[in-house]
Structure 1
Amino acid sequence: MSSDERKLGGIGSKVLFEDDKVRIWELALAPGERSDVHRHDLDYYLVQVGGDRIAVEPEPDSEGEYKEYFAADVVPGIVVPMKRGGVETAVNVGEKPYYEIIVELKDA
Structure 2
Amino acid sequence: MGPSRHLGNPGTRILFDDERVRVWELRLAPGERSDTHHHQLDHLLIQINGDRIAVEPEPDSQGPFRTYLEAPVTPGAVLHVPHGGIETAHNTGSDPYLEIIVELKK
Percentage of pairs with the same residue: 58
Ranges in structure 1 where 5+ consecutive residues have no aligned partner: none
Ranges in structure 2 where 5+ consecutive residues have no aligned partner: none
| Residue matched to 1:27 | 26
- The letter for the 1-side match of 2:28 is L
Matches of 1:103 and 1:35 in 2, distance apart?
Answer: 17
Alignment of 1:31-70 (within 5 A): 31-70=30-69
**1:97 and 2:96 equivalent?**
yes
- The letter for the 1-side match of 2:31 is G
CA RMSD of aligned residues (A): 0.9
What is the TM-score with the length of structure 2 in the denominator?
Answer: 0.97
| Structure 1 counterpart SS, 2:74 | coil
| Residue matched to 1:81 | 80
What is the TM-score with the length of structure 1 in the denominator?
Answer: 0.95
Structure 1 runs (4+) deviating above 2 angstroms are: none
- The letter for the 1-side match of 2:86 is V
Matches of 1:31 and 1:89 in 2, distance apart?
Answer: 14
CA contact (8 A) 1:3 1:87 kept: no
